[in-house]
Structure 1
Amino acid sequence: MNDIQGSYNAAATDYHQVLKDYHRQDPFELGALEYFARLIDDGPVGDLGCGTGRITAYLAGQGLDVFGVDLTPGMIEVARQEYPELRFEVGSLYGLDLKDDELAAALAWYSLVHTPREDLPLVFAELYRVLRPGGVLIHGFKVGDGSRPLKQAYGHDLDLEVYMYDVADVAGLLARAGFAEVATLTRAALPGEKDAAQAAHIVRKPGTRLV
């Protein structure tokens, strides 16, 4: 069974300590996020599946009006403790508590790694709904086929399934949701990484914002 909330509620504090500075260590992640940030017009940015808020805080430091949403209350509790100046809420990417066309940009930065491929169209449709015309989305993910169980990490026993996706397949799903491609970035696995290549799709909701 894939117990996302239970697993991350238990591991949230140690998860944050392990990953809080990861964007400073991986040029791929930092480069993708900087590229994404430069595409954003003024307006709210949703870090959707924000975990403990490390990327939310990074983007806020770039001057963006960003807030975080995550499924797991334990992750949100840590995020609020670590970054009290920022806004974090519990919520699901399957049904966000956001208005249509509300966001200037959104991130699903590795926040769908526990989502089966057959559910991706539902989530992409929801992300499309909450982005305003011209809004930008970045989706980071692990490249591969199928899934693997994750039973132990961050010093805790977990009950998770980690899904990998084909780059072209995800691009097709995003296109069918209505998005237009901006960029696709990939990198090979680093020495010691358990998973294969990493990828990020940056896409835009077509249209021009109406004032």
Structure 2
Amino acid sequence: MSETGDHGRVRASYDTVAEEYRQRIGGELAGKPLDRALLGVLAEEAAGSGTPVADLGCGPGHVAGWLAERGVRVVGIDLSPAMVGIARREHPGVEFRQGDLLDLPAADGEFGAAVALYSVIHLEPAELRPAFAQMRRVLRPGGCLLLAFHLGTEVRHLDEWWGHQVEVDFHFLESEAVAGLLTDAGFTVEARLERTNLPQEAETRRGYLLARRD
């Protein structure tokens, strides 16, 4: 993906807000018991496989760090070099890589499980299918994938974020459509959850899908 394409704009936007994002979001798991429970499922899956967990769209590394604190070997991957730099600084014992969801910097079958929390929302609709194919590629057979996204059909555009000039779109997604694309990509969807936003979150409904690579 060219730096002048949509991913280049997403990359530049997250580079711009990276430090403030860490300050605002870096401790969010403390107030998200459902997310912690779902991440615990991935931790158990990884423990059984002996392979690492991929945190796809890892941002400042808070999810990867949480997993690592519980003995999970994690590799965080993010589009934004600034986010990767902060993640490495904040979680020096965890491996982080810079890369795109459409061209993941990982070997075939490298991971026993993967999590992508609110990262596929920055993909165009036509990019979801190849992104899920990439996720399947880097997972071992039987590996679990946890996705989280905003529910709906709107596209929310930001040109200002916490006082910073950005250019980024947030694509809301429908669970049934995402589940269908995962199935087409070679996953079996095992669980679906929906919830309202927590008080500290943006006012959107949230969807979670837990899928297993065939």
TM over 0.5: yes
- C-alpha distance in 2, partners of 1:183/1:91? 28
Look up the SS of the partner of 1:23 in the other structure: helix
TM-score, normalised via structure 2 length:
0.90
RCO higher in 1 or 2 (8 Å CA, sep ≥ 6)?
1
- Output the CA distance in 2 between the equivalents of 1:154 and 1:32: 29
Matching of residues 77-116 of structure 1 within 5 Å: 77-116=85-124
Q: Give, in whole Å, the separation in 2 of the partners of 1:144 and 1:195.
A: 12
Instruction: Determine the C-alpha separation between the residues in 1 that align with 2:44 and 2:13.
Output: 34
**Contact (CA 8 Å) 1:100, 1:132: kept in 2 or not?**
yes
For 1:1-211, what aligned pairs fall within 5 Å after superposition?
Answer: 2=6, 3-40=9-46, 41=48, 42-191=50-199, 193-206=201-214
Say which SS state the counterpart of residue 136 (structure 2) adopts. helix
Determine the C-alpha separation between the residues in 2 that align with 1:169 and 1:87.
33
Aligned equivalents of 2:61, 2:201: Cα separation in 1: 23
2:151 and 2:173 in contact (8 A); partners too: yes
- CA 1:155–1:54: 2 relative to 1, 3 Å: farther
Indicate conservation of the 8 Å contact 2:97/2:105, yes or no: no
- The structure with more helix, counted as a fraction of residues: 2
Q: Normalising by structure 1, report the TM-score.
A: 0.91
Q: Is the 8 A contact 1:36 1:202 kept in 2?
A: no
Q: Which runs of 5+ in 2 are unaligned?
A: none
Q: Which moved more, 1:67-76 or 1:179-188?
A: 179-188
Whole-angstrom distance in 2 between the partners of 1:144 and 1:103: 30
Unmatched 5+ stretches in structure 1 = 207-211
Seen in structure 2, the aligned counterparts of structure 1 residues 173 and 195 have a Cα distance that, compared at 3 Å, is: farther
Task: Number of aligned residue pairs: give it.
Answer: 206
Matched-pair contact (CA < 8 Å) for 1:60–1:66: yes
CA distance in 1 between counterparts of 2:36 and 2:158 reads 25
How big is the alpha-carbon RMSD for the aligned residues of Structure 1 and Structure 2?
A: 1.6
